[in-house]
Structure 1
Amino acid sequence: MGRLGNTLPIVAFGAGRVVVRRCWRGGRISFHSPAVVVADDDRGLLLWQPADVSIWRLMTPDGRTHHDGTLDELGPMELTERPWVGGPLLLFHPADGSPWSVWFFHDEHSGEFTGWYVNLEDPYRRWDDGGLAGIDTADHALDVLVAPDRSWRWKDEDELAAKTGNADYWDAAGAAEIRANGEAVVELVEAGKFPFDGTWCDLRPAPSWRVSPGLLAGWDRPRTV
């Protein structure tokens, strides 16, 4: 248990609670999505994002996102609501402070598991304001796509390179560390170790795992540090 700023004491999030996942860049929320808590234990925080939720991301008036350039290159951006495209997600955030999360993708029609997505990111920090709780992180551009047979490939290597050296992102040493973090996850993938050992691949949502539309009160509270 701990206390962060003016938040309530932090305890495990209860199963079924709706929380928000926020990514930050340049002192702003760059991505925001709601999810339902499936479990919060010594392995980590497990969330379910239904297929029909809205997400919010920083976008330019002509529809470009942070994947298309650095914040200074893109110019004015606003947090913009968009429907999530694709099937539901199970998101696992390790309790040990690992700098990544693992997203379990599912077919939008059948609900069958279709593969893992390793999102390299800052270790998450949690917060709980009573009425709303969530986690804060920052995306590291580079990702790993993993098929059900555990074959894998890198994603967005060019984005990692393009943002290296920018003040809002990381330097060359930071980029090397991000890749090393990815290589460490790949070792787990190739060895078939948790969470790539089949755990949760057959998990199906409970009917109660729903998210109300719209931004929840308190969504824009300061970043947890």
Structure 2
Amino acid sequence: MSTSLRDKTVLVVGRGSGIARAVADAAIAEGARVVAAGRSVGDLHEAYQDTDVTVREVDLTDEASIAALAENLGAVDHVVSTASARARGKVAELSPEAIVLSFRTKVVGPIMLAKHFAPRMPRDGSFVLFSGVAALEPDPGFLAVAATNGSVNTVTRSLAVELAPIRVNAVSPGTIDTGAWDALGDERKNALFARLSDANPVRRIGSPQDVAQAVVFAMTNTFMTGVCLAVDGGQPLV
């Protein structure tokens, strides 16, 4: 086991599966104490029942909830926000409510995390936000997702300047094999993954562990801030 996060407290906001779980596992492997927070505390307790992860409730669309979590936890060293509310659909199908929820979850929520947690963090602490490949790869049906992710990239750079020396970075995943794609059904999911694997330069789909490695790097590289790390297999290049 590496110890690059030994005796550090890492808050991971998101679900208890997929990328969020991979990040929690990777942080633990690096020696961290992990707190997992999300809206469904019951699901988180079930997901982490065989671990030493502490579970707390938070709703990123509610500033009071974020403030209460910060008050409850006190000082933390790193905050990772993986939560999203994807507003997928072509422009004719999008509702204002879906777009606003996407922004409130992935843009406004992390800003509020910074507002309430930065004053409690050490100078060598960090935030890791989540963008996504849609910000760089316009595709019909992903307009609101692209707009949200592009905003995350801007927020990352701005917070890096405003919160300095606390570091702020983002990770931008490409297509990752998480449960988010299971709704397609096995046949459609496998066909999509095969097509994307054939097209991207690394010739495979990403795993949650690929993304988690980048998050650990962002937390532990103390000379990097305001950066968006692409973990996308070169998807925007083709």
TM-score by length of 2: 0.24
TM-score by length of 1: 0.25
Which structure features the higher share of strand residues? 1
Which structure features the higher share of helix residues? 2
